[in-house]
Amino acid sequence: MSFIDVNGVTKVYRRRAEEVHALDNVALQAEFGEFICLLGVSGCGKSTLLQILSGLEPATAGTVTINGQPLAGPHADASVVFQEHGLFPWMSARTNIAFNLKARGVPAAKRQQISDDLIKVVGLSGFENKYPHELSGGMRQRVGIARALTTSPKILLMDEPFGALDAQTRGIMQAELLRVWALHKATVVFVTHSIDEAVFLADRIVIMTPRPGRIRKIIPVDLPRPRDPTTPEFNEHMRLVLNEIHDDISRLATR
């Protein structure tokens, strides 16, 4: 049995007299420590699937099991990182990082120890007492990632966390995420629209169809890390992925 097992998951939103069929019969397995990227055009259900995996959104049909246990609500071993980092503007970076621990009743000394350790891990030493408005976009996302790691999650769910960053900062954050992931092993499910980001990060790329979201194809990325985006092998993987979603992109562009 896989660490995460998604079996026949369907999601239908009912809004007044209208039904929106977001996901249809999605089946996906992930092993512990695996890095999965969900890729597809806007509206294909990537974020909906992530919400279901987090336990924040129930499936209309189908099941999700984590480590053999049915998922029936928010999972204690899962953390979520969104594109909007959701930091509290009146809290310092350190206090933001420690927030989840405080909510769980962790003593102050232990909170500080964990927060200080993670500040070093995510490269925020010297900025721990800064407030969100004093930090760059990349630094704010580092705070968000550190906060997600405070509970030592076995599952890290990431919804386009670098989507709002400029290209240079995005590349730095991708490399930093892989470094942190190597230190704090977890199963990562990462939503992205970017083909090069998916090839750079993923062990497997899960390509989803336009609504209703189904899994069209799963492409393994068997390149050693760290990956060099300028190599022919990297570009060949990008070509394989682009071939799978080219028609979807074209249809979206002509709407």
Reply yes or no on whether the pLDDT at 229 is more than 70. Answer: yes
Q: Is residue 103 part of a domain?
A: yes
134, 26: one domain: no
Q: What is the pLDDT of residues 143-158, one digit of tens each?
A: 999 999 988 899 999 9
124, 54: one domain: no
21 contacts 211 by C-beta, under 8 angstroms: yes
Q: What is the pTM for the complete model shown?
A: 0.92
Strand order in the sheet with 35-39: 78-82, 155-159, 187-192, 35-39, 204-208, 215-220
Range with the poorest average pLDDT among 57-61, 242-246, 250-254:
250-254
Q: Is residue 252 part of a domain?
A: no
161, 69: one domain: yes
**Amino acid found at 155:** I
130, 22: one domain: no
Q: What is the pLDDT of residues 29-46, one digit of tens each?
A: 999 999 999 998 888 889
Q: Is residue 60 part of a domain?
A: yes
96, 54: one domain: no
125, 3: one domain: no
Reply yes or no on whether the pLDDT at 253 is more than 60. Answer: no
- Domains in the chain, number: 2
148, 159: one domain: no
146 contacts 85 by C-beta, under 8 angstroms: no
Q: Is residue 55 part of a domain?
A: yes
Reply yes or no on whether the pLDDT at 119 is more than 80. Answer: yes
Q: Is residue 43 part of a domain?
A: yes
136, 69: one domain: no
Q: Which domain holds residue 188?
A: 1-77+155-165+184-192+200-214
Q: What is the pLDDT of residues 63-89, one digit of tens each?
A: 999 999 999 888 888 999 887 778 899
19 contacts 12 by C-beta, under 8 angstroms: yes
27, 11: one domain: yes
69, 160: one domain: yes
What does the alpha-carbon distance between residue 137 and residue 132 come to, in Å, rounded to a whole number?
9
Helix, strand, coil percentages, rounded to 5, for the chain? 40, 25, 35
Looking only at the bridges linking them, the beta strands covering 35-39 and 187-192 are parallel
72, 115: one domain: no
> DSSP code of 41?
S
What does the alpha-carbon distance between residue 180 and residue 176 come to, in Å, rounded to a whole number?
6
Indicate the pLDDT class of residue 220, thresholds 50, 70 and 90. Answer: very high
Residue 9 sits in a domain whose CATH number is 3.40.50.300
Which stretches within the chain are classed as H helix?
Answer: 46-54, 93-103, 108-121, 137-149, 167-183, 195-201, 232-253
Q: Is residue 234 part of a domain?
A: no
Looking at the DSSP assignment, which residues form a beta bridge with residue 185?
none
- Over range 124-146, report the average pLDDT: 92
pLDDT of residue 103: 82
58, 160: one domain: yes
